[in-house]
Amino acid sequence: MVAALLALACARAVADRAADAPAVIVTAVALFALYATGPSLPRIRTSTRAAALWLGAVALLWTVLLALTPDGIWLAFPLFFVQMHLLPLRGALPAVATTTVVAIAGFGWHTHTLSVGTVVGPVLGAAVAVAVVLGYEALYRESEARRRLIEELTAARSELAAAEHAAGVLAERERLAREIHDTLAQGLSSIQLLLRAAERALPERPEPALGHVRQARLAAVDNLAEARRFVRALSPPDLEAGSLPAALERLCATTARTSGLAVHCQVSGAPTELPTPHEVALLRIAQSALANTVQHAAAGRVELTLSYMDTEVALDVVDDGTGFVPSGLPAPGSAAASGTGFGLAAMRARARALQGTLAVESAPGEGTAIAVTLPCPAAASEGVTA
């Protein structure tokens, strides 16, 4: 636009055969050269002072051109945009106002008169330039705000994905820890006790020792099946072979056979089909509770009761052992725990994962009672449907 307007001013000066046509051409060329060097100077874009000095030089040459020819008034319009673009708003608006006044005064000096059109034209051009630049800057700020928002949302989504991945890893690690503690670890403990009993029986009593070895071998076979189930992510073998009450009865019989305890299992209420996660949790809690009784309680009798109710299912494991103070147990994984203490924590985690509760009642010399209660989703959904 600047090049075209300067060329138009020179052409008209030559066409009118004005006496100052050479001066107009020289001034126009000088103005164009100064204007064209502006974009190649990096400081003009980064320094307000440099931009102001460059704009002052451009405005000075433009004022000379305006003094030579009234056609220089048209250069005021592109100057408005450049001033609004390079100067801060507090400096751009006075520069635009000054350029407008100079344009009106220069044109009036050439025509020796001031009309409404002479004043309104430059003022309207200045207003349009200011509105366009301010509108563009508002759109640019909004675009930048949206870009930053998108970047923040993208970063937040990445952080959320990483947090979900970490939570999933921790949850899976906790699940595997519970499974290993309630199955493989307890099975290995049973094998250790059986082999220790066999060792004490040898060589005087080979028959009892052989029985202990056979029981240890069966326990090893069962734990091998559990390990393969971990790899294949299958349900516990005891549940695959029958119902939960049958699995608990087999568990009690196996515990009684390997430990010598009197373990009794009874079922209260009408058995109903439970979701697989509920059956797995109840079986694992029963395994962990019986293993704790065998290893720590020094009990002579254990009662396991599975109770089916209208909206809940409950499992109670009660022994007549030495008991303990529940609040005095060390935290799992602490130095005081010495590698133990995960049983109750794992049982509570299983119950909590299914919106259930687990209570432990015990005192020194008074035995221990563990009660877990889980809601029955099937019963709850039937109540909602009804």
Domain ranges of the chain: 1-114, 240-327+342-375
pLDDT digits (tens, 9 = 90+) for 233-244: 555 666 766 789
Q: What 3-state class would DSSP assign to 306? A: strand
Highest-confidence segment of 17-26, 122-131, 314-323: 314-323
Residue 370 in this model has a pLDDT that exceeds 90: yes
Of 31, 95, 82, which Cα lies nearest the Cα of 60? 31
Residue 383 in this model has a pLDDT that exceeds 70: no
User: At 367, is the pLDDT very low, low, confident or very high (cuts 50, 70, 90)?
Assistant: very high
The Cα 6–Cα 138 span in angstroms is 31
User: At 152, is the pLDDT very low, low, confident or very high (cuts 50, 70, 90)?
Assistant: very high
Mean pLDDT for the chain overall:
84
Of 281, 204, 217, 200, which Cα lies nearest the Cα of 247? 281
User: What pLDDT, on a 0 to 100 scale, did the predictor assign at position 233?
Assistant: 56
Highest-confidence segment of 14-23, 34-43, 206-215, 359-368: 359-368
User: At 326, is the pLDDT very low, low, confident or very high (cuts 50, 70, 90)?
Assistant: confident
User: What pLDDT, on a 0 to 100 scale, did the predictor assign at position 340?
Assistant: 52
User: What pLDDT, on a 0 to 100 scale, did the predictor assign at position 232?
Assistant: 60
Residue 51 or residue 333, greater confidence: 51
Directed axis angle between helix 2-15 and helix 21-37, to 10°? Answer: 170
Residues sharing a CB contact under 8 Å with residue 55, sequence separation 6 or more, in sequence order: 82, 83, 86, 87, 95
The Cα 122–Cα 92 span in angstroms is 16
Residue 381 in this model has a pLDDT that exceeds 50: no
User: What pLDDT, on a 0 to 100 scale, did the predictor assign at position 384?
Assistant: 36
- Cis peptide upstream of residue 203 (ω within 30 degrees of 0): yes
List the single range of 167-181, 236-250, 258-272 with lowest mean pLDDT. Answer: 167-181
User: What pLDDT, on a 0 to 100 scale, did the predictor assign at position 308?
Assistant: 93
pLDDT over 90 for what percent of the chain?
24
List the single range of 263-272, 275-284, 326-335 with lowest mean pLDDT. Answer: 326-335
Residue 314 or residue 326, greater confidence: 314
Q: What is the mean pLDDT of residues 249-274?
A: 89
User: What pLDDT, on a 0 to 100 scale, did the predictor assign at position 262?
Assistant: 93
Residue 334 in this model has a pLDDT that exceeds 70: no
DSSP for 189-218, written as a single string:
HHHHHHHHHHHHHTTT-HHHHHHHHHHHHH
238 touches 283 (CB < 8 A): yes
List the single range of 55-69, 173-187, 249-263 with lowest mean pLDDT. Answer: 173-187
Domain spanning 240-327+342-375, CATH class: alpha beta
Residue 358 in this model has a pLDDT that exceeds 80: yes
359 touches 371 (CB < 8 A): yes
User: What pLDDT, on a 0 to 100 scale, did the predictor assign at position 378?
Assistant: 54
Residue 338 in this model has a pLDDT that exceeds 60: no
Residue 111 or residue 102, greater confidence: 102
